A and B are shown apart, each in its own frame.
Chain A
Amino acid sequence: EVQLVESGGGLVQPGGSLRLSCVASGFTFNTYWMHWVRQAPGEGLVWISRMNSDGTITNYADSVKGRFTISRDNAKNTLYLQMNSLRAEDTAVYYCARGGYITDFWGQGTLVTVSS
């Protein structure tokens, strides 16, 4: 069974940092591109970032470029999102999702709240 389990969310002050993790199981993680997508409370889906299977290619949304860094450890079947200089508008549920161009499986998400 394919599983993606995100963790690392929580309450952080503006300007702070947080690292999210997404542990994958039930499929060959090191052959898949992976994405991060977020959803602010009551709002729509916003694509954040994408990384290829060996970690050598990344893409970012303009809204997070220079502040967020996607990475992965294929030995641990884990995708990461390092988030720095957090702002109130970064408050959202963050989902990791499997796929190259299309995302065919999503995790349950982890909530990040940026507030003083």
Chain B
Amino acid sequence: DIQMTQSPSSLSASVGDRVTITCRASQGISSYLAWYQQKPGKVPKLLIYGASTLQSGVPSRFSGSGSGTDFTLTISSLQPEDVATYYCQKYNSAPWTFGQGTKVEVK
């Protein structure tokens, strides 16, 4: 099975900072990569699919890029409401594996 590895596991940044999270697949998955945001105590929310397509209603400060094995989620200007754990997920074929998550905090 393809493994999904995120880095870093956690990060702390200031409001307004640019934040980048990386997700690496152990084998190529084309652009079949989604990003989810889970705020503390809340349900996961789809942010990006197809590696770079923003889900409707998601703020434009979020963006995604990559294909094959290496992907990134970028928050262009971190806001207090972006405190959450972010997960990547592959969906080219079963199993629909998630990365281990990246916890984002605000300094």
Q: Chain B at the A interface: mostly helix, strand, loop or mixed?
A: loop
Interface membership of B81, Cβ < 8 A: no
Q: Is A72 an interface residue (CB 8 A)?
A: no
Q: Judging by beta carbons under 8 Å apart, are B44 and A106 in contact?
A: yes
- Number of B residues with CB within 8 Å of any CB on chain A: 23
Residues of B within 8 A of A50 (CB): 94, 96
Asked whether A61 and B95 contact (CB < 8 A) given A45-B36, A47-B89, A104-B55, the answer is yes
Q: A25-68: which have CB < 8 Å to B? A: 35, 37, 44-47, 50, 59-62
Known: A62-B1, A101-B32, A104-B55. A45 touches B101 (CB 8 A): yes
Q: For residue A33, give the distance in angstroms from its CB to the closest CB of chain B.
A: 11
Q: Is A107 an interface residue (CB 8 A)?
A: yes
When the two chains form their complex, are residues B94 and A59 in contact, meaning their CB atoms are under 8 A apart?
yes
**Are A62 and B96 neighbours in the complex by a CB distance under 8 Å?**
no
A contacts with B, residue count (CB < 8 A)? 21
The smallest beta-carbon distance between A61 and chain B, in angstroms, is: 5
The answer to whether A47 and B55 touch across the interface, beta carbons within 8 angstroms, is no
Contact partner, B43, options A46, A47, A102, A106, Cβ 8 Å = A106
- Within the complex, the shortest CB–CB distance from A54 to chain B, in Å, comes to 18
CB-defined A-B contacts under 8 Å, sample of 27: A37-B44, A44-B85, A44-B87, A44-B98, A44-B99, A45-B36, A45-B44, A45-B89, A45-B101, A46-B98, A47-B89, A47-B96, A47-B98, A59-B94, A59-B96, A61-B95, A95-B43, A101-B32, A101-B91, A102-B49, A103-B34, A103-B46, A104-B46, A105-B46, A106-B44, A107-B43, A109-B43
Residues of A within 8 A of B (CB): 35, 37, 44-47, 50, 59-62, 95, 101-109
Given contacts A46-B98, A50-B96, 5 further A-B contacts (CB under 8 A): A37-B44, A47-B95, A95-B43, A101-B32, A106-B43
